[in-house]
Amino acid sequence: MLISLAMSLAGAATAALPVVAADLDCAKMLEIRRPAGAPRPIEATDLIETLDIGSNGGMESDPVFTLSPDRSRLAVAVRRADGKSNSYCSGIYIVSQDGQASLIDAGPGVAFWRYDNFFGTRGFPTGVTKVITPLWASNGESLAFLKLINDRLQLWRWDVGGHSRPVAAAEDDIVDFHFGPDGKSLVYKQRADGPPTEELNQEALRGYRLDERFFPFASRAPYPRGVASYRFYNVNLDGSARRTATQAEIAAFANDRSAALRKGATMVDVKADAEGMSRIHMLIGTAEQFCRSASCTDIEGQPWVTQSGHIRFVRREGWDRSLAAIYEWKGGDTDPDRLFQTSDLLMGCVPIDDDVLCVRENATRPRYIDRISLQDGKSRPIFEPNPDHAKIVHGRVERLQWTNAMGISSFGDLVYPPTFQPSRRYPLIITQYESRGFLRGGTGDEFPIQLFAKAGYLVLNIERPQSPVSAKQLAPLERQRRENADFSARRNILSTIETKVLELIDAGLVDPDRIGITGLSDGSTTTQFAALHSQMFKAASISGCCWEPSQTWLLGTAIQQHYQSIGWPASPEASSAIWSQMSLSRNASRVAFPILMQAADGELYPTLEAVRALRAANSPVDVYVFPDELHIKRQPTHRLNVYRRNLRWFDFWLMDKMPADGIEREEASRWAQMRRDWVQRPIHLPTSD
C-alpha cells in the first residue's frame, strides 16, 4: 500500500482521477454548445460543464493561446468536465480571425499542475489544471501540443489538412517543448523522477524515516526530497529519431516565447527600479530606461513593442485595482496614454495588427478570446467557447466599492436573485475571496453563486482587501509576521465583509437574521476567525479547516518551521493568546454559528481536532469527506454534490427548508437534531492577550 502510494505521489498528478468511461465521445463532448430555445434558469451543470480555457488557478504564466506565424489563426487548448461520467475531455481548437473554430484533437482526461519545489520536496499535487499551450511551426503548417495519454503527458503534432499523432511518449510527463531552430525537430523537457521513486519504494520496505519530507496532513508517505529534475531531448517531427538536447537547445527554454517583447533594437520587460518598484523597462541597444509614471506600475502579463516602436501594456488600476486598462508609452519622460479600460478580467493579451487579442471574462460571461480595437475600444469575440450562456438567466450583478473600518478600500460584486423585488429583505450569502472575472463558485469553485441567487439569496462576493501592513520593501516573511500579529490581516478582511453587509442591511436589502458565510483556503480561515469574532453570521460552509494546536505536528517539520517564522506557535502548549483568538477546539462552546465542512480526504486530518470539540460541545457541525481529492477538488461529480449540499445547508439554516424525501431529507433531519441539541451561549468576543 505504501509503495503504491509513493509511486502515485511521484507520478502524474492525474493518477487519482477516476477511470474514464470507455464510451465517452470526447469529440462530441467538446463541441461548442450553441444557444437554443427560450431563456432558461441556470443549473449546476451549466457551471461545472463549461468549455474551459486556461487554468483554474494562478500557478502558471504560460500563454492560453498562440497565434500562427501569419497571424491568421490561433490555437487554444480546451477541456470540459462531465458530471455523469465523473471525468474530463481535453482537446485543441484552431480558430480563424473570423471566428471559425475547428476541433483538431480530442481525448479523455485532464492534466493537473504539481509543485517542482514544495518545502524542499517535489511532486506535491494541487488540483489546479495545467495550462496546455499549443505551439506553431515557423511555416504555420503544423502544430505541436501536449496530450494526456494513460495518465502521462505526451508530445503530439498536427499537420494542416491531416490528423494529430504522437511524436514522443516518455516514461514520465513531458512538461514543456519548443520547435528546434531548423523547424524540423522538437525539443522537449521531460520529468526525471524515476530513480527517486525507486528509492522511496526501497525505503518503504525498510520503513520510512519520519523527517522533513513528510506532510502528515496530506499523506502517510514522504515526498521525494529535492526540487524536480528534468531531461531534455530533441526528436524529429515524425518521432523517428531522438537524441539528447544540446546546451543551446536547453537554454532556449529560458527565453521568453513572445517575439513581441522585442522589435528590432527595442526590448521591453517589467523590472524593479532602484526603489524596488516594478515598472515598465525599455532597452534600446544598450540604453536603459524606466517609465517613471505611476501608470507604468501594477503591470499584468507581458508588455509588447508596436510596429512604431512604442510600448503597450495591460495594468490594473482604479478603485482597489479593480479595473484593467491598456496603455501606450512612447518613451522618454512622457506619460503613457490610456487606450482602453474595462471592469472585465483581461489575461494573456498579445498584439495583432493595431488591435489586441485577450482572454477575457466578466461576472456573468465565462472565459473567451476577444479582439479589442485600441482605436475605438470596440471588440468582437474570436473564440466564444460557451455561447449557450447567452440563453441562461443570470442574476443581475452590481459592482460595489467601499472602505472598511480600518480605512482600507475593497470591492466586491452583489448578485441579485433573478426575481428580485426591491420591497423585500433577502437572506445573504458571503463568498470569497476574488471578484474579478466569471462568478462561478468563489475561489476553489465550491459555492455556486448564481445557483444561490436562483434560490432566492443575495450573494456578496468579496475581493480580498490589500494588506493592512502598508510599509514598502518588506521581505515577504516579515510582512506575513506583521499581518499575523494580533491577526491584523484577518481583522482587515472581516471588517471589509461586515462594513458592506451593515450597509446592505441599512439599505433594506438584507435580513440581518439570515446571513451566511463561505470559504476555501484563505476564505476558510476568515470564516473560522469570524466564528469567534463576529455575531453577524447565522451559518457557514467551508472546505478545508482548521487552524488548531494540532497543526504544529500535522503540518510536518518543514511547513511548521515556516509558520513559526511568521508568528505561529511552536507547540500546542505555546502561545495560548493565539489559540484563544483562533482555535475552534479551544473555544468550541463560543462558536457563533453552525458549520458545514466538505473536505478533501487529503486535508481531513486538520479538521479532526475542531470537529471533535464542536461535537462534544453540541455546536452544530457536519463533515463530508471526498476521496482522492486535493486542496482544489477535481472530480466533477464531487463538485456537483458539493454545490448541491451547500445550497441545502443554507436553505435549512437560513430559510428553514427541508428536502421532501430521500437521502437529502435524512441529511437535513440530522441538521434538525443538531439544532435541537445546540445550546447557544452568549458570545464574548475575545480580546488580545
Model confidence at 277: pLDDT above 90 = no
Q: How many C-beta atoms lie closer than 10 Å to residue 266's C-beta?
A: 17
pLDDT tens across 170-207, in order? Answer: 888 999 999 998 889 999 999 987 656 778 889 999 99
Verify that 598 and 473 share a domain, yes or no.
yes
Verify that 40 and 147 share a domain, yes or no.
yes
Model confidence at 14: pLDDT above 50 = no
Please tell me the predicted confidence (pLDDT) of residue 577: 84
The CATH number of the domain where 277 resides is what? 2.120.10.30
Verify that 484 and 608 share a domain, yes or no.
yes
Verify that 268 and 398 share a domain, yes or no.
no
Q: For 132-136, 362-366, 478-482, 600-604, which range has the lowest pLDDT when averaged over its residues?
A: 478-482
Model confidence at 15: pLDDT above 80 = no
For residues 13 and 304, the model is more confident at: 304
- Residue 354 cell numbers, joined: 493595431
Please tell me the predicted confidence (pLDDT) of residue 61: 79
Domain end among 210, 227, 254: 254
Domain end among 356, 389, 422: 389
Percent residues over pLDDT 90 in the chain: 75
d(CA 624, CA 642): 9
* Closest listed residue to residue 88, CA positions, set 26, 164, 23, 12: 26
- Residue 616 cell numbers, joined: 462534544
d(CA 181, CA 162): 23
Verify that 582 and 522 share a domain, yes or no.
yes
Query: Mean pLDDT across the chain, nearest whole number?
Result: 90
The b-or-e profile of 406-433 (16+ CB within 10 A means b, else e) is eebebbbbbbbbbeeeeeebbbbbbbbb
The 8-class DSSP code of residue 630 comes to: -
Q: Which DSSP string do the residues of 204-235 spell out, in sequence order?
A: HHH----STT--TTT-SSPPPBSS--EEEEEE
The 8-class DSSP code of residue 390 comes to: G
- How many structural domains comprise the chain? 3
For residues 685 and 51, the model is more confident at: 51
What average pLDDT does the segment 227-241 reach?
A: 92
Residue 674 lies in a domain: no
Verify that 166 and 219 share a domain, yes or no.
yes
Verify that 197 and 339 share a domain, yes or no.
no
155 with 260: CB under 8 angstroms? no
What residue type is assigned to position 126 of the chain?
T
How does residue 21 score in pLDDT terms, banded at 50, 70 and 90?
A: low
d(CA 584, CA 593): 11
d(CA 577, CA 49): 46
Residue 658 lies in a domain: no
Model confidence at 361: pLDDT above 70 = yes
pLDDT tens across 574-604, in order? Answer: 767 889 999 999 999 999 999 999 999 989 9
Model confidence at 258: pLDDT above 60 = no
- Residue 596 cell numbers, joined: 458545514
- Residue 113 cell numbers, joined: 499542475
Q: How many C-beta atoms lie closer than 10 Å to residue 593's C-beta?
A: 22
Residue 591 lies in a domain: yes
Residue 651 lies in a domain: no
Please tell me the predicted confidence (pLDDT) of residue 17: 59
What range does the domain containing 300 cover? 259-389
Verify that 232 and 271 share a domain, yes or no.
no
Upper half-sphere CA count for residue 634 (Cβ side, 13 Å): 28
Verify that 385 and 406 share a domain, yes or no.
no
Verify that 315 and 212 share a domain, yes or no.
no
- Residue 304 cell numbers, joined: 509588447
What residue type is assigned to position 687 of the chain?
T
Percent residues over pLDDT 70 in the chain: 93
Residue 670 lies in a domain: no
At CA 246, angle to CA 245 and CA 248, rounded to 5? 125
- Residue 297 cell numbers, joined: 506600475
Task: Find residue 6's DSSP bridge partners.
Answer: none
154 with 146: CB under 8 angstroms? yes
Verify that 231 and 333 share a domain, yes or no.
no
Please tell me the predicted confidence (pLDDT) of residue 664: 94
pLDDT tens across 392-418, in order? Answer: 999 999 999 999 999 999 999 999 999
- The model's pTM is 0.93
Residue 468 lies in a domain: yes
Domain end among 616, 635, 654: 635
- Residue 523 cell numbers, joined: 476564505
Please tell me the predicted confidence (pLDDT) of residue 331: 87
DSSP run (H or E) holding 499: helix 488-506
Quickly tell me which residue has 451549466 as its cell.
Answer: 46
Query: What is the 3 state secondary structure string of 316-339?
Result: EECHHHCEEEEEEECCCCCCCEEE
Residue 676 lies in a domain: no
What dihedral angle (degrees, nearest 10) is formed by the CA atoms of 165, 171, 174, 178? -60
Model confidence at 453: pLDDT above 90 = yes
Verify that 502 and 616 share a domain, yes or no.
yes
d(CA 261, CA 402): 37
Residue 669 lies in a domain: no
Model confidence at 244: pLDDT above 70 = yes
Model confidence at 1: pLDDT above 70 = no
Model confidence at 540: pLDDT above 90 = yes
Give 209's contacts (C-beta < 8 A, 6+ positions apart). Answer: 203
Q: Which DSSP string do the residues of 264-290 spell out, in sequence order?
A: TTEEEEEEE-TTS-EEEEEEETTEEEE
Model confidence at 105: pLDDT above 70 = yes
Upper half-sphere CA count for residue 332 (Cβ side, 13 Å): 3
